Amino acid sequence: MALAEINFDGIIGPSHNYAGLSLGNLASAQNAGRISEPRAAALQGIEKMRTNIRLGLVQGAFLPQRRPDTAWLATLSTDAAHAGPALLANAMSASSMWTANAATVSPAPDTDDGRCHMTPANLVTMPHRSHEWPETMAQLKTAFADDAHFAVHEPVPAPFGDEGAANFMRLAPAHAEPGIEIFVYGESGGPYPARQHVEASQAVARKHRLDPDRTLFIEQSPAAIAAGAFHNDVVAVANETVLLCHEQAFTDPDTLYKGLRALMPEVVIVEVPADRVSLREAIKTYLFNAQLVTLPEGGMALILPTEARESEAVWPWLEEMVAGNGPIRKLIPVDVRQSMANGGGPACLRLRVLADPGTVDPRFLMDEAKLDAVGAVIASEWPETIDGDALADPDLWARIASARAALYEALSLTELI
């Protein structure tokens, strides 16, 4: 079995709007009420996937969920026509595009049965995300239906909040070798909620049958959460033997670094000092919400938002890091401004799965031709703009449903419509 890293990006859905639903997500709050551009947002996401493919990386995609979520509204004894504005906004959210929150994934080399284990995130701390997991699970069970290679579990039950891979990192000497799995949880965030509960992280580790000696549970710094780092992937990213993180990412970084060096002496820890890049600037630019990837020709690249290049603090530091001839050799800015305005950078848009691509349902794997087809559907069917005041418009609901159906048909996934 030839294992490869597959980045599954969420295709940004036709209901993409700025309702400001995510407490603690500063970009979401600051842009609440803005007119969104679903078509431009989704096409930006397609170009990001093209960037990965052209780097020689394996690329997959997950599809937008039903919006408004009438099934969820029915559990609340209402429907889209009668739900109040706040409830309807929660039913219309396109936040499933951020597939870093879709699930936690432990690859086969780390599990005691040699299968890749996945647990959909329950996302119970945010109403607009709490109803995503049933459709997420349906897509996971379809994409990874081969029981010989994959195990897809039920989510962790409420009230223990699980936000998926956005609070998870893996280090390993090489992708296919046994790794160290790092679960990052929160205890306090000042005015903002700590969304990842330690009980949820521990439950996922047990579900995935991980080696306790190679599984770490680390507390995210309350200062980071209070500054707007609502997920760990806003202040840290890891790949193979490299951990890139902010100086203030963790409550007890020294203990984490010591533990990593004991388990993996070759680990490279690149800590960005707060006196060069403040927490505020790191969160504003999403420096760490980047994809740290291994290139086929060797070395690593950091795929990060264009906002990082525009920062007078972040970009010079990154250029110095690359010039230092460390493991990260390339900086690749991508334009995902529509997603960024709602609080999601390049890493938010993808779920990393280490698996043999031949064991994955090929309908979820992307190439240039498929992206052309997806892009054509988006260009013709996605709304150009959505005004937050128009979320209650039945004509908008019909257009969103029609656009979504056209995409599923284009990818021959009509059984999931």
Catalytic annotation, residues: 163, 231, 348
Residue 17 dihedral angles phi and psi, to the nearest 5°: -150, 165
Q: Alpha-carbon torsion 37, 104, 236, 269, what sign? A: negative
Enumerate the H helices of 235-393 as residue ranges. Answer: 253-263, 279-285, 306-309, 314-323, 337-340, 368-381
Report which of 16, 9, 12, 14 is spatially closest to residue 51, judged by C-alpha positions.
Answer: 9
How far apart are the C-alpha atoms of 397 and 386, rounded to whole Å? 11
Contact 344, 385 (CB under 8 A): no
The 3-state DSSP class for residue 213 equals helix
Exposed e or buried b per residue across 197-214, where buried means at least 16 C-beta atoms within 10 angstroms of its C-beta? bbebbbbbbebbebeeeb
Contact 407, 42 (CB under 8 A): no
Q: Which H/E stretch holds residue 263?
A: helix 253-263
Instruction: Determine the residue type at 140.
Output: L
How far apart are the C-alpha atoms of 19 and 30, rounded to whole Å? 10
How far apart are the C-alpha atoms of 24 and 22, rounded to whole Å? 6
**CA 216 centroid distance within chain:** 20
Beta strands 365-366 and 150-152, pairing class: unpaired
How far apart are the C-alpha atoms of 183 and 198, rounded to whole Å? 8
How far apart are the C-alpha atoms of 29 and 18, rounded to whole Å? 9
What are the tokens at 109?
């080399």
Q: Which H/E stretch holds residue 353?
A: strand 350-355
